[in-house]
Amino acid sequence: MTEAPVVLAKDLTRKFGDFIAVNRVSLTVYRGEIFGFLGANGAGKTTLIRMLCGLLEPTEGEAQVAGYDVRRESERVKFNIGYMSQRFSLYEDLTVEENIDLFGGLYRVPPSVLKERKQELLRTYRLEKFAKTMTRDLPLGFKQRLALGTALLHDPPIVFLDEPTSGVDPKFRRAFWDRIHELARSGKTVFVTTHFMDEAEYCHRVSIMHAGKLIALDSPSTLKAQYGAPTMQVLFIQLIEQQIKEGRA
């Protein structure tokens, strides 16, 4: 992992009326790093990612992604990231190949380059035999592969994956994480939100969110040693119980 910051956030905050979804979050993330957002549903993970992707304007604070300000240069941010949303975001009534062509056009990938990358995507994610299949007819695991592949069509330096393995079987989850590590080794920065505690072990660093706040951030091994926890599951429960005991729920 090369020590070159690609994401900088300072006191990033998002409010919806009186509700504070993300509360003064600051972090620095580096090139080639797998950075995990760990937390229960509603902890603020997706809201934070949407702000970093330029999809949701912060209420307060500031952030830069790939050198661009998320407020003033949100369109430039979008063209320098790949984003795989929590809900399947491709078009169910298009074939696999048609979805690839569509997103290649949206990302302004030149036709000659897109032709090559489409074949590479189909081969890498073992989707060749499904090229003419309607996307709605794909098994969920293959839909997730297609979603990740299309998010990478324009070769972005940063990829945001929001609950990418939710609903898929353990075998696919392991294979998906193998691909994430390949991306990191190639120099891409990968942000992953998850509520699976075992997946946190696969990250270089993890941030644990609760009630919109960042309550812990470090490597899994360092955090477990710091709190005397044998697993990330135990660590997470300890930290949340501590927050509740201190009245920060």
Q: Which fold has domain 1-80+158-249?
A: Rossmann fold (3.40.50)
- 182 phi, psi to nearest 5 deg: -65, -40
* Every domain of the chain and the residues it spans: 1-80+158-249, 89-155
* pLDDT range class, residue 248, cuts 50, 70, 90: low
Q: 7 falls in which pLDDT band (50, 70, 90)?
A: very high
* Mean pLDDT, residues 29-36 taken together: 96
Percentage, residues of the chain above pLDDT 90: 75
pLDDT band at 196 (very low <50, low <70, confident <90, very high): confident
Across the range 149-167, mean pLDDT stands at 90
- Asked if 151 and 79 count as a contact pair (C-beta separation under 8 A), the reply is no
- Residue 179, pLDDT > 60, answer yes
pLDDT for 88 beyond 70? no
pLDDT digits (tens, 9 = 90+) for 214-233: 999 999 999 999 999 999 99
Per-residue pLDDT tens over the stretch 47-78: 999 999 999 999 999 999 999 999 999 999 99
- How far, in Å, CA of 51 to CA of 12, rounded? 9
Q: What pLDDT does 101 receive?
A: 95
Query: What pLDDT score does 164 carry?
Result: 86
| pLDDT over 90 at 141, yes or no | no
- At residue 249, does pLDDT exceed 70? no
Q: Is 111 exposed, middle or buried (0-12, 13-18, 19+ CB in 10 A)?
A: exposed
Return the percentage of the chain with pLDDT > 70, whole number.
Answer: 96
